[in-house]
Amino acid sequence: MPIRWTTKKLMSKAAWHAYNMYRKGINYGSQLSKTAALLNASRADILAFQKKQLEKLLRHAHLTTPYYRELFKTESTHISQIPPLEKKNIREQLDRLCSEAVPQGQRIKNATGGSTGAPLTFYQDRNYWNQRNLSVYYFDQWAGWDFGESQLIVWGALSDVEGNGNWKHQLSNFWRNHYWLNGFHLTDATMRRAFQQMDRCHPQTILAYPSSLYQFAMYLFDNDLVPKWNLKGIITSAEMLHSHYRSLAETIFGTKIYNRYGGREVGLIAMECAEGRMHINCHDLYLEIDSSDPYTIPGDILITQLNNYAMPFIRYRIGDMGRLSNEVCPCGNQLPILAELLGRSTATFRTRAGTLIHAGYFTQQFYDVIGLVQFQLIQETLKHCVLKVVVNTQWTEAANRYMVQKIQGALGADVTVTVKFMKEIPLPASGKREFTISKVETSRND
C-alpha cells in the first residue's frame, strides 16, 4: 500500500476517534468492545440481555409516557399483550409518545418519508444514536469496514442534485476517508469520474443503495471498466436488494455484498453475515413477527427499540414483512436469524437527458411539506408525471408549487406535472404501497 494511503488511513482513524470522543461523548474503543462481546455471545446470554433491557424499557414507558401509561395498566405487562404501534399512532399522538422524563432539549428530531410516501416525524435521544452507531461500526466490520479505511459511498445527497455541494460535506468526506457518488443523480459523467477516483484511491469497501449500485455496475459493465484491486466487501442498505442487482454487482466488483436492513425510526435491524444469513441486532432491538407461526408463515415485522428513551417504540409496525429461522448459522454467530425479508421497493426515474434520479430524492424533499399527508409520484412518460396527493386543511397553493418545482428541477423544466387530489391512495394487490412508480421503458432490465 503506498505510504500516502497509509498516512491518510491513520489520520482518518485518529479523526474518527476524536469525533466520537468529543462530539459524541463516548469512548468508542471500550464501548465497541462491549458491544462486540455482547453480539458475539452465546444465544442464552444474548436473550438474557435482551430480556433485561426490555423490562427496563417497558417500565420506563409505563411510568413516563402518557400513551403507554394508558395502553398498559401495570408495569409488569408482558410485551405480547401490548398492541402494536402503528404509524398513524405516531402521527396522531406524537406528544403523548414522548417521555416526560426526557427534557424537550434532549430530544433529537428525525423524520422519514416512509415506504408509503407518508411523512413521519419522531424523536430520538443521544444514547439511541450512540448505541446505534456502535452497532453500525460492529456490523460493518463483517463486510471488511474499519475506522479510517477508504470507502466509496453511493448514496443520496440533496446538495449535489441542487448544484450547491457544500464545504461541510466535503470536509466530512475528507476526514472520514469517504468518496462520494451521488445516488440521487447518476450520469455517465459522474459514474466515470467515480470510477477514475476509485482507480486512484482503491476504496476497501462500498456503501450503497442497491438500485444505485446496480446502475453503477451496469455502467462499468457496458463500458468495459473493471476494478483492478481487491475490494473487501460491499454494504447495501435502505431498499430491496434484488437478486439480479446482487449477482451483477458481485461479479463486476469481484466481492461479496453484505446486505444491511434498517430504518431511520429504529436503526440497524439486521445484517447479513459471510454465510448469507441476516442476523438480528439484539443489542438495539427486540424483533417479533406478527404471524401465527413466525418460523413458517411470514408476517409484519414488529420492532421494539431498546435504547430510545425519549420516545419509546414498542412493537412498532415498520411496514416490512419477514419470517424467522431457528437454524444455527455456520458463521458461528449466535444472533437469531431473519430468514426472509419482504421489504420496500422503489423506482429509479430516468430524465430525457439520460440522468437517473433516485426515488429517495423525492421522499427527502417532501417529508416535511406542511399539509401533505401522503403522496405517490408516477412517471408516465419522459415528459409527463402524475403526482397524487392526500392533503389536510393546512395544504396551500405554495406547497403545491413547491412540489411541482422540485419534480421539474430534478426531471426537467419542460416536464408537465398533473397534481391529483385523492381521498386515499389505493393499495396495489401486493399490499405493499410504493410512493414512486416509473412507467418509462428503460434499455435495461430493471
- Interacting residue ranges for Zn ion, rule: CB under 5 A: 273, 275, 277, 329, 331, 333
333 vs 346, which CB is nearer to Zn ion?
333
Cβ neighbours of residue 232 closer than 8 Å, sequence gap 6 or more: 143, 144, 145, 149, 204, 205, 255
273 vs 324, which CB is nearer to Zn ion?
273
Burial class for 297, CB neighbours closer than 10 Å (0-12, 13-18, 19+)? exposed
CB 361 within 8 A of CB 156: yes
User: Cβ of residue 256: shortest distance to Zn ion, in angstroms?
Assistant: 13
User: Cβ of residue 338: shortest distance to Zn ion, in angstroms?
Assistant: 11
154 vs 278, which CB is nearer to Zn ion?
278
85 vs 271, which CB is nearer to Zn ion?
271
94 vs 274, which CB is nearer to Zn ion?
274
User: Cβ of residue 336: shortest distance to Zn ion, in angstroms?
Assistant: 11
The amino acid occupying position 369 is: V
277 vs 406, which CB is nearer to Zn ion?
277
Q: Would strands 436-438 and 372-381 be described as parallel, antiparallel, or unpaired? A: parallel
User: Cβ of residue 443: shortest distance to Zn ion, in angstroms?
Assistant: 38
**Residue of 348, 327, 303 lying closest to 438 (CA atoms):** 348
How far is it, in rounded angstroms, from Cα 202 to Cα 228? 9
User: Cβ of residue 271: shortest distance to Zn ion, in angstroms?
Assistant: 9
User: Cβ of residue 275: shortest distance to Zn ion, in angstroms?
Assistant: 5
User: Cβ of residue 41: shortest distance to Zn ion, in angstroms?
Assistant: 14
How far is it, in rounded angstroms, from Cα 113 to Cα 319? 12
259 vs 333, which CB is nearer to Zn ion?
333
